[in-house]
Structure 1
């Protein structure tokens, strides 16, 4: 018992320490572009060795298989979209550690192998859910800043600035995440990428419909000509109207989302309550064939119900 508790404590501390090191000390790819800036002066001429932390060390033990190449590329792109300084292997290591800690902790608390293993497998997807939630929140913040950025670009063009200078102004005046993405866009174009390639990379990093509208308008204007400032003013009005409609839809569908969340969590809540008051009664679901069949079918129908509710409340513009 003492050995297991010590192991859980060491694993928890290792994850917390490693995530802290990744968040504050890891050099991101976009930051390496500063070595190509004219104003950048490297203080130390010697090559600095990156400090290997616990998760990085474990990630090197995971082999790179050829059959999961597309999955690896997709996950790494999602990590970039979520602005998480992690690699695919490091994410896998975090998932493994969280699953082990969850399984060991639940086994010590319940002494039930089935519950410990099932919830351990369930916790495997927690880092992925966190990544998706962070990506969605980042896109929402980006969309909320986009109208302001377009106005700055339009006013800069009217004042006689070039397009690159206008992008630089946006990168300096607008906060993250939009300011950071525009700085990266400016660096890519300054390093020799064409505007089309740089905008394509921006579209891959930020999956925003409003951004796609802006980029398409800019590229079309580059081909056929026209007053870019006037085009940007019209796009600003369109984006503001779209965001206004989205906010109205959120208000109208808020009750449906709350209902779906309550219905989804109600079986879990009742299961925990019954387990606390009558453990032998609820354990029949996990110790008998009929009970396991009921759990499986209820889980499937629960997913179907959640899917139907999400289809009803999600309105595409």
Structure 2
């Protein structure tokens, strides 16, 4: 393995860890909370016919595809990928995302392999390029879900005022879809359409919860279902939930402001060693590569790299506070 390949591999691992730690956290308590939420949604949905209806719609969709597209859509985890695409507000089949990732990965990997004659560098480039479309869609999904949650308190206020004015629940949902913008309007418009065309309220609300998996939406769905079964003042309950969500977002912004210095420090501390090494190699060619060629220097490089990875994971635990 050449020194350039080893250096490129170290950069790849550090950037990957930084991305996972500070851009799209997928480890720790947040991921565990997401898994618990998805499990609770599945458990709740089993008590209604929403999952059966979704399965029938999925089967009808697969029958409309060509044999090759049907094979791609039937691959493991593609249904989950289709849900991510839908939650991102995009309207294209999930298998096209797989095809795009494969084409980008093959192109980038082949181009870098031809240029550097390094199989490891080609594989690294292919991996990054193949994952880029999914990372882009997932980033849009996270932004859309965050936008939905930020606008949800206003939507709940509209529903509460409409209920206090004497409008039925379905008309209150329609008011949100017409008066608001963005993902809130889109999701409540779809919810109203399901209710307006004879859909069951329970199934429609669970469908909303599947499309927007969040604790806030689960609280709203639970409040509506309990009110329909036991009675009560739904308008006041929705007002209180909306105020609670607003306070939660204010606290989240405060926490993010307080931890911004730690995140900046983590980025600088992780990028600085590689930037300094590149600058030294630029102004004094052979200085870094000569040091890395020495057996002791190589061991020092590997030790520093391991300590850097530990530091990144440690900083992630410090600055990612679950609210």
- TM-score w.r.t. the length of structure 1 is 0.69
Change (3 A) 1:229 1:286: same
Which of 241, 245, 250 in structure 2 is aligned with 1:239? 245
1:256-275 equivalence runs, <5 A = 256-270=262-276, 272-273=278-279
Distance 2:164 2:263 in 1: 44
- Say whether 1:196 aligns with 2:193: no
Q: 1:161 to 1:279 in 2, by over 3 A?
A: farther
Which residue among 140, 144, 152 is the counterpart of 1:134? 140
Higher relative contact order (CA 8 A, sep 6+): 2
The number of residues matched between the two structures is 259
What is the correspondence of 1:1-317 to structure 2 with a 5 Å cutoff? Answer: 60=68, 63-64=71-72, 68-69=75-76, 71-107=77-113, 110=116, 112-270=118-276, 272-273=278-279, 276=282, 302-317=308-323
Q: Aligned-pair distance for 1:119?
A: 2.2
Distance of aligned partners of 1:276 and 1:227 in 2 relative to their CA distance in 1, 3 Å threshold: same
Q: Assess, with a 3 A threshold, how the Cα gap between structure 1 residues 283 and 109 changes in structure 2: closer, same or farther.
A: farther
Cα deviation, residue 299, structure 1:
6.2
Query: Does the CA contact (< 8 Å) of 2:173 and 2:192 recur in 1?
Result: yes
Structure-2 change in CA distance of 1:140 and 1:223 (3 Å) = same
Distance of 1:282 and 1:61 partners within structure 2: 50
Query: Which residue pairs with 2:15 in the alignment?
Result: none
Give the Cα–Cα distance (whole angstroms) in 2 for the partners of residues 286 and 75 of structure 1.
42
Which runs of 5 or more structure 1 residues have no equivalent in the other structure? 1-55
Task: Report if aligned partners of 1:60, 1:89 keep a CA contact under 8 Å in 2.
Answer: no
Aligned-residue offset at 1:152: 0.8
In structure 2, relative to structure 1, the CA distance for the partners of 1:172 and 1:86 (3 Å cut) is same
- Mapped to 2, the partners of 1:162 and 1:155 lie a distance apart of 11
CA RMSD of aligned residues (A): 3.4
> SS in structure 2 opposite 1:182?
helix
Aligned match of 1:44: none
What residue ranges of structure 2 are gaps of 5+ in the alignment? 1-64
Structure 2 contact 106–126 (Cα < 8 Å) conserved: yes
- Give the TM-score of the pair, scaled to structure 2: 0.68
